[in-house]
Amino acid sequence: MGVRTPFVYMVDPVRAEIVMEYVKGTNTRDKINEQICLKIGKYTSILHKNDIIHGDLTPSNFLLSNELVLLDFGLSYRSNRIEDKAVDIRLLEEIFKSLYHSKFKSFYDSFLEGYGTLIDSKEVNRILKNLKQIDLRRRYA
């Protein structure tokens, strides 16, 4: 689909074993900037356009190698629900707010710019509207 991930060589469910490619790189958590956030947004839009919810969308689950590499699909699942896509984005938004408070706006705006490259603007607006509704449901705001 255009999202770089480690290649999976073997899965043995009986022995609970996965053998996959080792990807040498730096965790984006330590090198994040607006350009990386834009690329994270593009990767997320590819996943969501194909109804894949990552489930743990954080800068720690991306590596900088020759290209950006997305890791850890352990919580991922398939869904076309707007709510699920919004929840995926909400986690990343919260991480940006807590870890990169002074750069939050520029990082999140760059992410949204990347996210809007492949998904129809009406769909993006529905997802962001749902994201606001999720925030309003929080018990302690």
69-113 pLDDT per residue, tens: 999 988 999 999 999 999 999 999 999 999 999 999 999 999 999
92 belongs to a structural domain: yes
Q: Answer whether residue 119 is part of any domain.
A: yes
User: Can you give the CATH number for the domain in which 62 is found?
Assistant: 1.10.510.10
Residue 11 lies in a domain: no
Residue 140 above 80 pLDDT?
no
Task: State the total domains in the chain.
Answer: 1
Domain membership of residue 20 (yes or no) is: no
Where residue 139 falls among pLDDT bands split at 50, 70, 90?
low
> Per the residue annotation, which of 56, 72, 88, 120 is the catalytic one?
56
Residue 58 lies inside a defined structural domain of this protein:
yes
CA angle (112, 22, 89) in 5-degree steps: 20
Cα distance between residue 73 and residue 55, in whole Å: 8
| 41-50 tens-digit pLDDT | 999 999 999 9
In a domain, 6, yes or no: no
Domain assignment present for 85: yes
Domain that holds residue 95: 25-137
Average pLDDT over residues 134-141: 67
Does the predicted model carry a pTM greater than 0.85? yes
Decide if 84 is catalytic.
Answer: no
CA 103 – CA 107 distance, rounded (Å): 6
Mean pLDDT of the chain: 92
